[in-house]
Amino acid sequence: MIFLAFADIATVKTEPDPNRRSDMALLNADEKIDEARQAYQAGNASAEDAAIQEVADSVTLSYASLEQTHGEPRKSKYYKHAELKVSVLMRRLSGFRDEVGFELRPRVEAVMKKLSDIHDQLISDIMSRKKQ
């Protein structure tokens, strides 16, 4: 787990187990929110944009990895963990959006919309019956 502190999305993509890759991607997204906040406070707009974009990319990778398992989402602890974690990430991004200046909010809101769409899809997958 120690190497996760230095992970980026390229490292996460190399994980062969889709369930573990999904968890690692969500951890990476969480770390990138912290990086975006630090970059914003330091006045580094390009690093902030890169970190915010990597949050969206990481959550997208997490969902894609879960889909690769071909398991039943209703019975998968990984789907449920992802749903909870994405919900936490959305709350953290909401707090970050409130911190940034008005001109930077549309970028954060675009990522929040992406996370919201994935969260809705996760809930739909978990709540739906097995696909025929």
pLDDT tens for residues 42-73?
999 899 999 999 999 999 999 999 999 888 89
Q: How far apart are CA 88 and CA 83, in angstroms?
A: 9
Task: Dump pLDDT digits (tens) for 70-124.
Answer: 888 988 899 999 999 999 999 999 999 999 988 889 999 999 999 999 999 999 9
Whether 35 shows a pLDDT value over 50: the answer reads: yes
Note whether 83 and 125 are within 8 A (CB): no
Q: How confident is the model at residue 7 (pLDDT cuts 50, 70, 90)?
A: low
3-state class (DSSP) for residue 17 = coil
Is pLDDT of 130 > 90?
A: no
d(CA 32, CA 48): 9
Give which of 2, 52, 63 is closest to 30, Cα–Cα.
52
pLDDT tops 60 at residue 15: yes
- Supply the pLDDT for residue 71: 82
Asked if residue 52 lies in contact with residue 44, where contact means CB atoms within 8 angstroms, the answer is no
pLDDT at 4: 45
H or E segment and range at residue 92: helix 77-99
